[in-house]
């Protein structure tokens, strides 16, 4: 399933805000079809890194390649057209639109009708196109099990459902690469299990490469194929989940040191 061709190559990027170095010389790549997680303590630069990839920030140094194409200076909307979808840590739904419309916005770059034939609706082919994409949107709604709320206004939904709608909206882009910023934050166990299942399905059945930031180590270690650890804007470790769990450096920086280990260390 996981190929060897990298879909995303991040090469030596550095991001500064005035004197603050948010990211320094971060290099990694994500293979096609992979489920890749980024972990690290708060303020380590995880979201900044995701923002660099999706185009919100532009790094002062280094380059980002997506599907072999240089995207470092590209606008976010252009990157979306190339097949990059993302969700946000703090909910970023279109609060006054219905769930269905939110998802249909995700279809934006795949549709062609504009204000001219959109205004004429019945005569310029807009209606036909809208209905075609509605069908696609319904597939996503079915998959994420949100059919009961498709006509609800997004701003009125509960937190867990909003997170799910946000995922649906990102999936509607039909991205090759899906960037998820803390998809499970603030969820209960059941919702987390559901979300993990959706992410795995998207990765395995829908063939999307997933890059995920997540704090729940249980989930991260269970579902991801490779994990990268950021600390103070630096890439301190990268590898299989098991290796990361055992890495002393990572333990000190983020995961925490077991009391047993510590005791052993003192004895030795």
Partner 1 sequence: MAGYNMMRCGEFRTTYEKDTTIFPTPMSKKFAILGVLLCVIAPLQIGEFSFVSDTLLTLMIQIGYLSIGALGLNILVGFTGQISLGHAAFFGFGAFASAWMNNDFSIPVFFSIPLAGVLTMAVGMIFGMPAARIKGLYLAIATLASQFILEDFFARADWFTGGAAGALANPFEIFGFAISGDRSYYYVVLVYMIAMYILAANLMRSRDGRAFIAVRDHYLSAEVMGINLTWYRVLSFGISSFYAGIAGALFAHYLQYVSVESFNLLLSIQFIGMIIIGGLGSVMGSLMGTVFMVLLPEIMQEAASIITSTSWGNIPAITEGINFMKEMVIGAAIVLFLIFEPDGLAHRWRMIKAYWKLYPFSY
SS3 of residue 53 by DSSP? helix
Q: Nearest Cα to 224, choosing from 89, 21, 33? A: 33
Q: In whole angstroms, give the CA distance from residue 248 to residue 264.
A: 14
Binding to partner 1 by residue 119, rule CB under 8 A? yes
Give the range of 5-13, 34-42, 94-102, 216-224 binding partner 1 by CB under 8 A: 94-102
| Candidate ranges 9-17, 52-60, 238-246, 247-255; the one touching partner 1 (CB under 8 A) | 52-60
Q: Which of 7, 15, 26, 93 binds partner 1 (CB under 8 A)?
A: 93
Q: How far is CA 111 from the centre of its chain?
A: 23
Which CA distances in Å does 91 have to 20, 110, 113, 175, 208? 26, 24, 28, 20, 22
Per-residue mark of binding to partner 1, 140-169 (x: CB under 8 A): -----------------------------x
x/- map, 173-202, partner 1, by CB under 8 A: x-----------------------------
Tell me how far, at minimum, the Cβ of 96 lies from partner 1, in Å.
Answer: 6
Lay out the sheet containing 61-66: strands in order across. Answer: 20-31, 6-17, 61-66, 69-70
Q: How far apart are CA 94 and CA 153, in angstroms?
A: 9
Alpha helix positions (H), the chain = 46-54, 76-82, 99-106, 115-120, 126-143, 159-172, 189-204, 217-223, 241-246, 248-250, 259-267
Per CB under 8 A, the list member of 60, 77, 147, 156 interacting with partner 1 is 77
Q: Is 105 in the site for partner 1 (CB under 8 A)?
A: yes
Binding piece for partner 1, criterion CB under 8 A, among 7-15, 102-110, 191-199, 201-209 = 102-110
Burial class of 81 by CB neighbour count within 10 A (0 to 12, 13 to 18, 19+): middle
- List 27, 60, 75, 158, residue binding partner 1 (CB under 8 A): 75
Cα–Cα distance measured from residue 73 to residue 94, given in angstroms and rounded to the nearest whole number: 26
Select from 39, 64, 99, 126 the one that contacts partner 1 (CB under 8 A). Answer: 126
Q: Count interface residues toward partner 1 (CB under 8 A).
A: 43
Residue 224 is a binding residue for partner 1 (CB under 8 A): no
What residues line the site for partner 1 (CB under 8 A)? Answer: 54-56, 75-77, 80-81, 85-86, 88, 92-97, 101, 104-109, 111-115, 118-121, 126-127, 129-131, 134-135, 138, 169, 173
């Amino acid at each position: 399933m996981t190929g060897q061709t990298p879909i995303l190559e991040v090469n030596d990027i550095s991001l500064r805000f005035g004197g603050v170095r948010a990211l320094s010389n971060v290099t990694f790549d994500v293979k096609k079809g992979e489920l890749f997680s980024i972990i690290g303590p708060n303020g380590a630069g995880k979201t900044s890194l995701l923002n660099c990839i999706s185009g919100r920030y532009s790094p002062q140094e280094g380059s980002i390649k997506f599907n072999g194409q240089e995207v470092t200076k590209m606008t976010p909307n252009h990157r979306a057209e190339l097949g990059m979808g993302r969700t946000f840590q703090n909910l970023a739904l279109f609060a006054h639109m219905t769930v269905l419309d939110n998802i249909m916005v995700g279809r934006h770059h795949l549709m062609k009708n504009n204000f001219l034939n959109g205004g004429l609706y019945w005569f310029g082919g807009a209606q036909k196109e809208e209905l075609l994409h509605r069908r696609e949107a319904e597939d996503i709604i079915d998959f994420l099990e949100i059919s009961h709320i498709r006509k609800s206004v997004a701003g009125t939904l509960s937190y867990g459902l909003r997170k799910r709608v946000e995922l649906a909206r990102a999936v509607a882009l039909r991205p090759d690469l899906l960037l998820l910023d803390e998809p499970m934050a603030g969820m209960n166990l059941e919702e987390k299990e559901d979300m993990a299942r959706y992410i795995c399905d998207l990765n395995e059945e829908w063939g999307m490469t997933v890059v995920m930031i997540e704090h729940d180590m249980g989930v991260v270690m269970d579902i991801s194929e490779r994990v990268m650890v950021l600390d103070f804007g630096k890439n301190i470790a990268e590898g299989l989940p098991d290796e990361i769990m055992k890495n002393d450096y990572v333990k000190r920086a983020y995961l925490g040191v077991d009391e047993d280990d510590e005791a052993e260390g003192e004895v030795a």
